[in-house]
Amino acid sequence: MAKKQNLEFNKNEDGMKLAVSDMKKKLAIIEKGGGDKAIAKQHEKGKLSPRERIAYLIDKNSEFTELMAFAGYGMYEEHGGCPAGGTVAGLGYIKGRQCVIVANDQTVKAGAWFPITGKKNLRLQEIAMENRLPIIYLVDSAGVYLPMQDEIFPDKEHFGRIFRNNARMSSMGITQIAAVMGSCVAGGAYLPIMSDETLMVEEHGSIFLAGPFLAKAAIGENVDIQTLGGAVTHTEISGIADYKFKTEKECLDQIKRIISKLGSTDKAGFDRAKPLPPISDMNDIYGLVSPDNSKQYDMVEVIKCLVDDSEFDEFKKDYGKTIVCGYGRVEGWAVGIVANQRKLVKNAKNEMQLGGVIYNDSADKAARFIMNCNQKKIPLVFLQDVTGFMVGSRSEHSGIIKDGAKLVNAVSNSVVPKITIIVGNSYGAGNYAMCGKAYDPRFIYAWPNGKIAVMGGEQAAKTLLQIQVAALKRKGQEITAEDEKKMLDDIMAKYAEQTTAYYAASRLWVDAIIEPIHTRKVIAEGIAAANNAPIEKPMNVGVMQV
């Protein structure tokens, strides 16, 4: 292809591949959890690491779609860090049944729950509830990380919400299985008991509200861990647990047997044809999109690298051109795609419109398309590379707020599943209109070059600089040009750090950072998950200003 000889294409390709390589290096460290020595100690005890447990549990030759691996990345450094939020989790197939799998990582602070651990576990339960997926808990945790207990214990979205969700999922008929392979203490002891079935590994698994030390302090009783709450105690005396096993693999084999016997459930009925690879080379994505999100490109070319047979039926192609809408298939699944066009385009009046900006007509078109997909029961895929809505008197007089509100209304009230991919920028109200995290996408992913912020770095930094300089001048301080430059550089550096995909992923604003060529896979897995949850009512947008 001619574009492969294009200098800009080659520069983009090199930059994006470097970004992916950097991501893989970061992931390789995260995947070590508490480190090689901590994993070796697990092995010495006859225990597997959480990743080894998951690898054994899922079907051979199937892939595990890990979610939120960057949870806690760069956070809690004063506490020694919390790789992957102390929990390895994602979507996997057990006996052909797609499940959510959640495994505590005992190599990270004995599996203790940091604030981000609680947030991650709640998100995983939300995924199971929204998509009616069985959820498997591989429990091995020392409980709440006490030095930060005030940030995880009492609030609505804190630790206690986990058990409320256990109860809600049970009432929804969602299968929950807990395998206790290590410690399960204090409030955490409720999780396995509120699951459908509880499995325990002898000598290693233990469940109790208060451990031996607390029992000694509270009532003066001397008792060892296994007598207090081991597998024998809970399967033979208390009746709390349902099965006990000599080894972890025997325990995991029982999970497989339970899952193999689950009955079939109603489906949403999303259309799926025979999957076909794109005609366009998926690797072309690396050359089309610049690693710093600064260059123009044709989003339709990116879409053709993602959809089956590169076949994309564009909706209202010649109207509202800064948002591209249309129908296609991803791994056979029918999808409606809403994507920001990043190249300069001309409207009907032959006026140039900026790529990545949402104008009145593009907001109108996207809102209508979203309603069409809801009418046809077609899942939506949002490809975000948006710098915001058009500003200025002309847009304001034309009612840009009204048209933006219409799009936000449509996104908010959509009842078909939404999957969002941040392929570049995700700024300001554009993040909202293009189904950012606040708008309940079933899954939301970012490419390594993704940036999420209230506005672009340069605009934000200059605005913040003006505020700071004005404040200092009011105090009578003289600000030189050199002072301003240093202040601007400091602001830009801090702002740049806070807008990266890694900053977003560490705080779970996205479910994962993915390689661009894995986009088809995660979209397909997301729709497969969503297909387990029938749509119960049609779309109703309520009052919409027109």
Give the C-alpha distances (Å, rounded to integers) separating 104 from 12, 107, 207: 39, 9, 15
Task: Give me the pLDDT at residue 5, please.
Answer: 58
Q: Where in the chain is the domain with CATH 3.90.226.10?
A: 1-30+267-455+499-546, 33-260
H or E element that contains 327: strand 323-330
How far, in Å, are 315, 340, 357 from residue 344 at the CA level?
Answer: 19, 11, 10
Residues contacting residue 99 through CB under 8 Å, at least 6 positions apart? 91, 92, 93, 133, 134, 135, 136, 259
Q: In this prediction, what percent of the chain has a pLDDT beyond 70?
A: 99
Assess whether pLDDT exceeds 80 at residue 403.
yes
Query: In the prediction, which pLDDT does 398 show?
Result: 83
In the predicted structure, residue 531 carries a pLDDT above the cut 70? yes
Q: What is the mean pLDDT of residues 58-82?
A: 96
Give mean pLDDT, residues 283-309: 96
What pTM did the predictor assign? 0.94
Mean pLDDT of 62-90: 97
Q: What is the CB-side half-sphere exposure of residue 344 using CA atoms within 13 A? A: 5
35's enclosing H/E stretch is none
Q: Is a pLDDT exceeding 50 seen at residue 2?
A: no
Whether 100 and 128 have beta carbons less than 8 Å apart is answered as yes
User: What is the tens place of the pLDDT at every residue in 191-211?
Assistant: 999 999 999 999 999 999 888
More confident residue, 474 or 274: 274
Q: How confident is the model at residue 44 (pLDDT cuts 50, 70, 90)?
A: very high
Task: For domain 1-30+267-455+499-546, give the CATH superfamily.
Answer: 2-enoyl-CoA Hydratase; Chain A, domain 1 (3.90.226.10)
Q: Which CATH superfamily groups domain 33-260?
A: 2-enoyl-CoA Hydratase; Chain A, domain 1 (3.90.226.10)
d(CA 72, CA 80): 11
Supply the pLDDT for residue 349: 87
Question: Mind listing the pLDDT tens digit for each residue in 317-359?
Answer: 999 999 999 999 999 999 999 999 999 999 988 888 989 999 9
Percent of the chain with pLDDT over 90: 79
pLDDT on residue 212: 86
Q: What is the predicted pLDDT for the residue at 1?
A: 43
pLDDT digits (tens, 9 = 90+) for 133-144: 999 999 999 888
Residues 69-74, mean pLDDT to the nearest whole number? 97
- Per-residue pLDDT averaged across 446-461, rounded? 86
CA distance 322 to 63: 36
Q: How far is CA 470 from CA 88, 126, 474, 537, in A?
A: 48, 45, 6, 53
- Residue 3 pLDDT greater than 70, yes or no: no
What's residue 339's pLDDT?
Answer: 98
Average pLDDT over residues 214-224: 88
SS3 427: strand
φ, ψ of residue 365 to 5 degrees: the values are: -60, -45
Mean pLDDT of the chain: 94
Residue 19 CB burial class (10 angstroms; 0-12, 13-18, ≥19): buried
pLDDT tens digits, residue range 162-188?
999 999 999 999 999 999 999 998 878
Predicted pLDDT of residue 392: 87
